[in-house]
Amino acid sequence: MTAITDIPDAPRAARRPQMGNPVLRWLRTNLFSSIPNGILSVVLLAILAKGIFSFVQWGIANAVWLTPANDSSACRAARGLGACWAIIPEKYRFILFGTYPFDEQWRPALSVLLFIALFYLSSRRVLWRRELVYLWIGALALISLLMWGGVLGLSFVSQDRWGGLPVTLILATFGLAFGFPLGILVALGRRSKLPAIRSLSVLYVELIRGVPLVSLLFMASVMFPLFMPSGFNIDKLLRAQVAIILFAGAYLAEVIRGGLQAVPRGQYEAADALGLSYWRKHRLIVLPQAIRHVIPPLVNTFIAFFKDTSLVLIIGIFDLLTTAKTAIIDPAWQQFSVEVYIFVAAIYFVFCFAMSRYSRSLEATSGR
């Protein structure tokens, strides 16, 4: 026993990296652990340095930050050398809010803040209970009120004048809010023992998931008027919203079905043993557990919707991407689309990155 513990750890100690400068030590283990690794690091560093240097030169050093209103001459002079960020202060109101009446644009701005507050509150674990549903209903009603107006001294703004970031948020969030109950029903239908209901649910999910969203949007914009009795006409934004809800319903159904499958059989059997009816069994016992299971994939699905709403550009609805694309039609600023796209990409990125970070932290802590 003693013989073993007495053996000194000398060879290991010798191989241990020298207790030198911690920076050098870090460099050695992480960048220069072997010769090929060292070469790779140097090459990568060189490429990165060159890339960052030219981006700084273009995006910061030679960039034009501000110009007098509606005058792009300074930008034209710097074209090819530096970025024209001046287009952003020039156009940001249009990009963010579209053709919403200029003096009333505090209303969409407030709506965006309400959306962010709603997302933030929904992310708090403490608030994951039934009351969250009322919070969503209240917030969405308030946002509709703000955007439409027509009461409380707010002037009425028709939805064909809505545009920009609020429209993107509305399409994604209402898509989720209405697609979610639909998804629950379809997921239950798919697991139902009743053959007719099961096959209807499967048909719906597979048909919607099998075709691109673009074709659903085309359908909403072209075929919807054909489907309705003549004289009955609903507006383009609402039609796209319906298409997105139907699309969301199919994808959410699959996510929720995953959660339903994760609920142990014993839970179903216990609920049956208590004599609960089908609906009470699901409402009180099964769904609360199933939904908790699928919150991370639910967030990921929401990120996907948030990005996918940009496809409404193709049918001419003024979401954030469409307003950006329209802003650069202006001949004076036509050549500076890259800057506008970077600006809009940054907005999308902030939302999606925050949500994906959140979903990952949930996955990490949901070790139960």
Q: What residues line the site for another protein (CB under 8 A)? A: 30-31, 33, 37, 40-41, 44-45, 48, 189, 193-197, 200, 207, 210-215, 218-219, 222-223, 225-230, 303, 307-308, 310-311, 313-314, 321, 325, 335, 337-338, 341, 344-345, 348-349, 352-353, 356
For residue 131, the minimal CB distance to another protein (Å) is 30
Distance CA 39, CA 337 (A): 38
Task: Give the CA radius of gyration of the chain.
Answer: 27
For residue 201, the minimal CB distance to another protein (Å) is 9
**Please, which residue, 290 or 344, has the CB nearer to another protein?**
344
Distance CA 323, CA 96 (A): 8
For residue 139, the minimal CB distance to another protein (Å) is 24
**Please, which residue, 115 or 343, has the CB nearer to another protein?**
343
Helix residue spans in 98-164 (DSSP H): 106-123, 131-148
For residue 259, the minimal CB distance to another protein (Å) is 18
- Looking at beta carbons, which pairs linking 267-274 to residues 24 or more positions away fall under 8 Å? none
Q: Which amino acid is at 20?
A: G
For residue 189, the minimal CB distance to another protein (Å) is 8
**Please, which residue, 32 or 128, has the CB nearer to another protein?**
32
Please list, residue by residue across 273-310, b when 16 or more beta carbons sit within 10 angstroms of its beta carbon and e when fewer do: eeebeeeebbeebbbeebbebbbbbbbbbbbebbebbb
**Please, which residue, 47 or 127, has the CB nearer to another protein?**
47
For residue 324, the minimal CB distance to another protein (Å) is 8
For residue 150, the minimal CB distance to another protein (Å) is 30
**Please, which residue, 146 or 173, has the CB nearer to another protein?**
173
Distance CA 165, CA 1 (A): 72
- Asked if 311 contacts 247 with a C-beta cutoff of 8 angstroms, the reply is no
Task: List Cα–Cα distances, 145 to 88, 148, 151, 179, 195, in angstroms.
Answer: 29, 5, 8, 21, 43
- Looking at beta carbons, which pairs linking 266-275 to residues 24 or more positions away fall under 8 Å? none
Reduced to 3 states (helix: H, G, I; strand: E, B; else coil), residue 95 is helix
**Please, which residue, 33 or 261, has the CB nearer to another protein?**
33
DSSP characters for 21-63?
-HHHHHHHHHT-SSHHHHHHHHHHHHHHHHHHHHHHIIIIIT-
**Please, which residue, 90 or 308, has the CB nearer to another protein?**
308
**Please, which residue, 141 or 214, has the CB nearer to another protein?**
214
**Please, which residue, 76 or 307, has the CB nearer to another protein?**
307
Q: Which of 310, 149, 318 is nearest to 235 (CA)?
A: 318
- Asked if 169 contacts 307 with a C-beta cutoff of 8 angstroms, the reply is no
Distance CA 324, CA 231 (A): 34
For residue 281, the minimal CB distance to another protein (Å) is 13
For residue 339, the minimal CB distance to another protein (Å) is 11
